[in-house]
A and B are shown apart, each in its own frame.
Chain A
Amino acid sequence: MIPRWILVPAAVGVVFVLLPLVAIVARVDWADFLDLITSQASKDALWLSLRTSAIATLLCLLFGTPMAMVLARTSFPGQGVLRSLVLLPLVLPPVVGGIALLYTFGRRGLLGHELEVLGLEVAFSTTAVVLAQTFVALPFLVVSLEGALRTAGQRYEVVAASLGAGPTTVFRRVTLPLVLPGLVSGAVLAFARALGEFGATITFAGSLQGVTRTLPLEIYQLRETDVDAAVALSLVLVVVAVLVIGFARQGRSSL
């Protein structure tokens, strides 16, 4: 039983979250909806967003899975501090992340000289978009997977090792299949975070149509010049977000 009065603030909160979504749907210019979301600029932005978010998700899987393994399955001095630092992008203002990336990979950044020698210009390129998205999305995958690894425990891994399976075989044939739902939901969350990335991207990558102007940047650009298009594209992102939540929930419930 909960105190009855608690329902009131709870209902206010729910309305606060849902009402803006209703407002978007109400504001959509349905007659021109298809035209608005299929203009060249919109298509460029959507395509760029999907591509970069997909690559960022892959990078998160590639580096986040080992990170989660190290955090969940080993112990070493300073592990707690390391975990907090790795998860920093979760709470860091994205624009600060963008600045940080700029002074890491930018021409005058920490690695600027090395990258220049290699003939690579990262800042204000599509690569920068991917890096910005990976930076902010990585903690989502790590947190989700580390939780799944801890829940799964090591009992099956011990059995597998006693049957003669080496660490790599255990990882591939036992650990990964057991945490697959956590891995999927982590990847979906990371993808969603990458898709919505704005602050770090605009700071580190700029806003160049077809190169660095992702969907959120396009919406921000359009909100003054073409409100109908901005609203229509916003609705597209709302739909994507709803799908993502559905996927992530499914991943978790199948555990």
Chain B
Amino acid sequence: MSLRLEAVVADRGLDASLEVADGETLAVLGPNGAGKSTLLAVAAGLLRPDAGRVTLDGRELTAPGTFVPTHDRRIALLAQDPLLFPHLTVLENVAFGPRSRGTRRGEAYAAARSWLEEVGAADLADRRPSEVSGGQGQRVALARALAAEPQLLLLDEPMAALDVAVLPGLRQTLRRVLADRTVVVVTHDVLDALLLADRVVVLDDGRVVEAGPTADVLERPRSAFAARVAGLNLVSGPWQDGVVGGVRGISAGPPPAEGAPAVAVFRPSAVSVFRAAPGGSPRNSLPVTVTDLEPRGDQVRVRADHLAADITVQSAAELDLAPGARVVFAVKANEVAVYGT
């Protein structure tokens, strides 16, 4: 179910193309107004591009003289809002796709139940959409989209409207059910890209400015936007008993297998900077060379290779930091999140 998409939409300034291999998840990152949603609308057949072509698994969906309507594309959409049909129960919502394709009621409901089970929302089956929370609603919406058995799944900022507290759980669920599916996920959250996507495309002003494997793009951002979204520190390497690339962290979710590829992620604000490694401390110590100093209000962002630390102006002055200085970045293990990739 590979996707090829080329689209020019003049009045929204979009001129981009992308490809998603069978079973691959592609993250589309980019600032507001970059054309991310327009791209999805073209893929879903909600918008006819001025020029371009959409091909899914060899079947032309949009092409000169061809425009397959949305309902015949086998492309499901999951938006920011769950948009559960308010007049149907949760179970009826999930059974909507199969029922629309002519599956008999009993069979459709059985399928709906198993999809609800799959996303951990089986106990909500008989509720009304007004009786479920935002996070639950998004799980149900996910089950509904999957129950339609789409060949391509489009996710448009699926977690942007949700409470922070429900994000880790939903991320794990998404990670599990999206594996082996062909997916395009629009997001502004670098963690979503990191955990869900195999590859990343960065869109800016309607153009693809960067593309490549997720870790590559985020570790060595070439575009300004990728650098900004990659504000997190990221170290990759094989997982070795809780340590990734010399950084010990806390595993979010099931720990990866020994030696499996993994990433350690931590915020610049969690990093302390020392002239010499602090002795007898449980903290991770990373000897680095300062490459750049960037004032940010009363803070200074200290860049060293691909890592960054936010410290106060006063500390920066006390440490007498300048590009080329040899320092140690220290970060507590409980500030580091580790993920298998």
Q: Which residue of A lies closest to B149 (CB)?
A: A164
Q: Which residue of B lies closest to A166 (CB)?
A: B71
| Residue A18 lies at the interface, judged by CB distance under 8 Å to chain B | no
Interface set, chain B 2-58, CB cutoff 8 A to A: 44, 46
In the complex, what distance in Å separates the CA atom of A30 from the CA atom of B46? 64
13 additional A-B residue pairs with CB within 8 Å, beyond A155-B83, A159-B85, A163-B100: A156-B85, A158-B44, A159-B83, A162-B70, A162-B75, A163-B145, A164-B74, A164-B97, A164-B101, A165-B97, A167-B69, A170-B71, A178-B87
For A160, what are the chain B residues with a Cβ–Cβ distance below 8 Å? Answer: 85, 96, 100
The size bracket of the interface on B is 20 to 34
| Residue A244 lies at the interface, judged by CB distance under 8 Å to chain B | no
Encode B110-129 as 1/0 by CB contact (under 8 A) with A: 00000000000000000000
In the complex, what distance in Å separates the CA atom of A158 from the CA atom of B156? 14
Give 9 pairs: A residue, B residue, CB < 8 Å, sorted on A.
Answer: A155-B83, A156-B83, A160-B96, A162-B71, A162-B75, A163-B148, A165-B96, A166-B71, A167-B71
Contact A158–B77 (Cβ < 8 Å)? yes
| Residue A169 lies at the interface, judged by CB distance under 8 Å to chain B | yes
Q: Which residue of A lies closest to B73 (CB)?
A: A162
Measured CB to CB, the closest approach of chain B to A143, in angstroms, equals 23
| Residue B139 lies at the interface, judged by CB distance under 8 Å to chain A | no
Contact B144–A161 (Cβ < 8 Å)? no
For B145, what are the chain A residues with a Cβ–Cβ distance below 8 Å? Answer: 162-163
For A166, what are the chain B residues with a Cβ–Cβ distance below 8 Å? Answer: 71, 100
| Residue B76 lies at the interface, judged by CB distance under 8 Å to chain A | yes
| Residue B65 lies at the interface, judged by CB distance under 8 Å to chain A | no
Contact A162–B85 (Cβ < 8 Å)? no
Encode B134-151 as 1/0 by CB contact (under 8 A) with A: 000000000011001010
Q: Quick one: which of B69, B81, B87, B96 contacts A163, CB cutoff 8 A? A: B96
Contact A158–B144 (Cβ < 8 Å)? no
Given contacts A166-B100, A169-B100, A173-B96, contact A161 B85 (CB under 8 A): no
| Residue B279 lies at the interface, judged by CB distance under 8 Å to chain A | no
Contact A165–B100 (Cβ < 8 Å)? yes
By a beta-carbon cutoff of 8 Å, the part of chain B in contact with chain A is 44, 46, 69-77, 79, 81, 83, 85-87, 96-97, 100-101, 144-145, 148, 150
In the complex, what distance in Å separates the CA atom of A161 from the CA atom of B75? 9
For A170, what are the chain B residues with a Cβ–Cβ distance below 8 Å? Answer: 71
In the complex, what distance in Å separates the CA atom of A39 from the CA atom of B300? 94
Measured CB to CB, the closest approach of chain B to A183, in angstroms, equals 13
In the complex, what distance in Å separates the CA atom of A180 from the CA atom of B74? 29
Q: Which residue of B lies closest to A176 (CB)?
A: B87
Contact B77–A162 (Cβ < 8 Å)? yes
In the complex, what distance in Å separates the CA atom of A121 from the CA atom of B66? 50
Contact A162–B100 (Cβ < 8 Å)? no
In the complex, what distance in Å separates the CA atom of A160 from the CA atom of B76? 9
In the complex, what distance in Å separates the CA atom of A167 from the CA atom of B77? 17
In the complex, what distance in Å separates the CA atom of A180 from the CA atom of B69? 26
Contact B85–A174 (Cβ < 8 Å)? yes
Measured CB to CB, the closest approach of chain A to B26, in angstroms, equals 18
Measured CB to CB, the closest approach of chain A to B104, in angstroms, equals 15
Encode A65-100 as 1/0 by CB contact (under 8 A) with B: 000000000000000000000000000000000000
Contact B83–A162 (Cβ < 8 Å)? no
| Residue A177 lies at the interface, judged by CB distance under 8 Å to chain B | yes
Measured CB to CB, the closest approach of chain B to A26, in angstroms, equals 46
In the complex, what distance in Å separates the CA atom of A174 from the CA atom of B97? 12
